[in-house]
Amino acid sequence: MLAVKVLAAVVSAALGVFWYASGDVRGVILAVPATLLLGAMALRDVLVPVRLTADESGITVVHGYAGRRHVPWEQIDDIKVDVRRRFGLRSEMLEIDTGDNLHIFSAGELGASPTGVAAELRRRARNGSG
C-alpha cells in the first residue's frame, strides 16, 4: 500500500509539473494539494508502519499522525469485525471500542485478516484482564 501511495504522489507531482509547463493553472491548483496529501499519507506509513500492538497489559494504537496511545484491557468494551459487501467485493474492518473512542483498522493497516486479529485480541483480553 505504501508503494501505491508513493507512486500516486509521484504521478500527481508529474502532472502538476506538466500542467505548470503548459500554463494550465487549474491543473496545478488540483495537483499541488493532491501531491501534498498523498505524500503525507505515504510519510505516515513510513513513520508509523505498525498501527496496533498488543501485550499482556493492553493494546497500543496510533493516535493522531504519529503518536501512540496505550489502552489497558479493562478499558476495552468491545472488539468486533465489521464485514461489508459492496459491488461484489467483501471488506473487513476491525473495530475496537474503548467507550470514549472507536479505533478502526483495515486489513492493510493490520497486515493480517481483521477476523484473525480480532480473535487473537479477544484471547489476549481474556488472559490479560482476568
Using only C-alpha atoms, what is the Rg of the chain?
Answer: 19
Residue written as grid cell 506538466: 18
In this structure, the answer to whether residues 122 and 63 fall within a common structural domain is: yes
In this structure, the answer to whether residues 102 and 59 fall within a common structural domain is: yes
Range 85-101 average pLDDT: 91
In this structure, the answer to whether residues 20 and 56 fall within a common structural domain is: no
| Domain region containing 120 | 52-129
In this structure, the answer to whether residues 71 and 106 fall within a common structural domain is: yes
Kindly report the average pLDDT of the chain as a whole number.
89
Most confident of 5-9, 59-63, 105-109, 125-129: 5-9
Q: Are strands 67-72 and 78-86 parallel, antiparallel or unpaired?
A: unpaired
In this structure, the answer to whether residues 15 and 75 fall within a common structural domain is: no
| Rounded-to-integer distance, Cα 17 and Cα 10, Å | 11
pTM, entire model: 0.71
110: cell is: 493490520
| Rounded-to-integer distance, Cα 58 and Cα 71, Å | 6
CATH code of the domain covering residue 60: 2.30.29
Q: State how many domains the chain has.
A: 2
In this structure, the answer to whether residues 122 and 60 fall within a common structural domain is: yes
Q: Please, is 105 exposed, middle or buried when counting C-beta atoms within 10 Å of its C-beta (0-12, 13-18, 19+)?
A: buried
In this structure, the answer to whether residues 63 and 114 fall within a common structural domain is: yes
Q: What is the DSSP letter of 86?
A: E
Of 28, 47, 66, which residue sits at a domain end?
Answer: 47
